[in-house]
Structure 1
């Protein structure tokens, strides 16, 4: 057949066959769309900082940044010394160190949770009432005067019987205080701890529905994170994955699954010396969480280390190396968020995050550029890989590891282009020039 000659196209199936199949799968199509809407496309913080309700103050975020800078000044006053502690390559040393310092000055905390659970403990009702009202006032003022973290909120007590009423009251006081001060901030995040049954998630949904009705808010306005701290939250008595049920029980309100390193480890009987985020038990739990959350729009967060970078320089360096290594390990496993327990942790949190994105962004940008331009190369990438590459670059931009100008130079793409590739159903849209 000569080149350019039109092929004869023949089919055997009647058009009604396709229509019948589509009609039979319509419920499945709807179910997929409802249960697996995909990532929300919003910024995910690289960490969550927990501050007890009685300690939280108007200057907490700035204080954490100043303490972290002071720790650098004392224990790693320049790029070379910091790189030597963490094993950073020469080409990463200065860019990472400079960006860490700039981040600590500009935005030391990305996500802050005022804690009314384990970090706060049982208190007289009047005391917790006042602390919850104070937290609402301070959070509202922080958003109003521009000193807030991108995300802020509270961790209430759990839905277990002994503390249930107290947790509900604290949440009510906090949310009511925000409403009285002008409304709920866009960055509001709530954390429900020690969830063991999906019915406790349903109870949280009903609670938030009632608050929305009482205050005239749009239904579904308030979401929450589910904290995974018990064996029952991973595996139910019938052998099914409880955490998957919890996501569905949240009815679209779940924003995250947060792994509680020490409660979960203790629940399984892991001795204190071995309770860590890299224990096999932790890896198993987070893998289940990750699979359950995939495609649902719910993000997974790693836990924390309780080894604090305090004391003489040798001890601080040891704690920094541990925290840096655990953070890098989590990032490689696609846990892009974790907990930080102490101001001294955030220099190594940002160092690990910045190094992770900076050391790989040239390659990622080049691969994405070749994919966008159908240029081929030594790796055959698909839309799913383009999604991963663009997501990598977007996360690097959001946290400050990368600048849009350098990404544009390396990839020839705008942020809008990256966001297009990060949404698979739009991956075939025309790419604009940077």
Structure 2
């Protein structure tokens, strides 16, 4: 028996025509995450202080800070970590500080560097590129590395573009671009600045014979104008379409943003309500676009007598960011690395039993205590996968607990087909 429907072919064709623009928008602006590893943090160092061995130097300094605190177990207790969680986390963090103390390194030519004059900055840009290549060759480079150049505001635009050009050109001519190259555009105020950066990236690709789209960049959200424009619009929401495929992430700038709002220095913090508002707008603006989110930094450093309080603050802020959907943040000092990884690993270990159990229900096609939608299954798989990428979880335990091997888990986690 043939099922009889009431709607005509003409009606259905009219619906397809009406929604064609919507289909195109969803495909172009909201392709989903591409499955590439996102670091849990970005370390910023002034360009004139960067050396090929910096990652190992920071790792050693982090371990020395831990030793002064009595060891990782004592530090975990200081920040209020339950003993059971600490027992699972501490050995993993110890290995992390030995093996990969920095996941993402940004060589800073902006605020952390200042104005050294054109000749000095030219030399430092070339030297930074050569040192990145030296670090890659010696096995010292972190998985992701790149530069933050000066902003595209009028006073610094030409200098920022020249530094970027020198850095990229030196890399290409002396060994090639690192696989994990990351570029950061700071103090963005308008969509036009992002469009201009996309033009610069395209021009550099053509000049060096690079594949189109090879040079992507992060946008630092540090000005109120990017969150709320003069016309009442949210310019940050237009970035994905303004530079399709170019913007890799949005990074919140805690102190520039807070200062621009007139928040006094003692009260500027990642957890200030004004910061939370900006980050909530960022989060909604890039949902589904594949653009990653990063929280900012805390400038309260764990050194001297203030170390215990600073470690507790840092660990709390790291955990807070993770729970609010910001998988990444900035670290400014080696002594922040232990609490970055302690707090991050605890977050993944604490959430893992429930996440793995619900994924096991999916694998076994059974109904557990929670009936998960496909979108939630992707989120659960993404959570577990990120935990494995940073070292909080192992592939062996994930497969034993969920039934999914690494390839299958990546298939569940990736929204974008073929990523």
Structure 1 position 425, deviation (Å): 7.2
SS in 1 for 2:251: strand
Give yes or no for contact 2:202–2:213 (8 Å, CA) kept in 1. Answer: yes
Aligned pairs for 1:253-332 (under 5 A) are 253-312=246-305, 315-332=306-323
Distance change (3 Å), C-alpha of 1:424 and 1:256: closer
SS in 2 for 1:255: strand
Residue 154 (structure 2) pairs with residue 151 (structure 1)? no
Residue 347 (structure 2) pairs with residue 367 (structure 1)? no
Residue 5 (structure 2) pairs with residue 11 (structure 1)? yes
Match of 1:83 in 2: 76
Give yes or no for contact 1:323–1:349 (8 Å, CA) kept in 2. Answer: yes
Give yes or no for contact 1:197–1:246 (8 Å, CA) kept in 2. Answer: no
How many angstroms apart in 2 are the aligned matches of 1:13 and 1:259?
Answer: 50
How many angstroms apart in 1 are the aligned matches of 2:260 and 2:85?
Answer: 40
Query: Scaled by the length of structure 2, what TM-score is found?
Result: 0.97
Aligned CA-pair RMSD: 1.5
Match of 1:56 in 2: 50
Aligned pairs for 1:334-373 (under 5 A) are 334-373=325-364
Structure 1 position 78, deviation (Å): 4.6
Q: What is the aligned counterpart of 2:198 among 198, 202, 205?
A: 205
* Deviates most, 96-105 or 259-268: 96-105
Residue 35 (structure 2) pairs with residue 35 (structure 1)? no
Work out which structure has the larger RCO, using CA pairs closer than 8 Å and 6 or more positions apart in sequence.
Answer: 2
How many angstroms apart in 2 are the aligned matches of 1:194 and 1:76?
Answer: 40
Structure 1 position 16, deviation (Å): 4.3
Match of 1:417 in 2: 408
* Deviates most, 144-153 or 49-58: 144-153
Q: What is the aligned counterpart of 1:92 among 78, 85, 89?
A: 85
How many angstroms apart in 2 are the aligned matches of 1:70 and 1:82?
Answer: 12
How many angstroms apart in 2 are the aligned matches of 1:307 and 1:103?
Answer: 23
**Structure 1 spans left out of the alignment, 5+ residues:** 1-6, 428-434
- The number of residues matched between the two structures is 418
Match of 1:392 in 2: 383
Give yes or no for contact 2:251–2:296 (8 Å, CA) kept in 1. Answer: yes
Residue 392 (structure 2) pairs with residue 401 (structure 1)? yes
Query: Scaled by the length of structure 1, what TM-score is found?
Result: 0.94
**Structure 2 spans left out of the alignment, 5+ residues:** none
How many angstroms apart in 1 are the aligned matches of 2:247 and 2:144?
Answer: 15
How many angstroms apart in 1 are the aligned matches of 2:408 and 2:68?
Answer: 42
| Structure (1 or 2) with the larger CA radius of gyration | 1
How many angstroms apart in 2 are the aligned matches of 1:25 and 1:51?
Answer: 48
How many angstroms apart in 2 are the aligned matches of 1:327 and 1:232?
Answer: 26
Structure 1 position 426, deviation (Å): 6.8
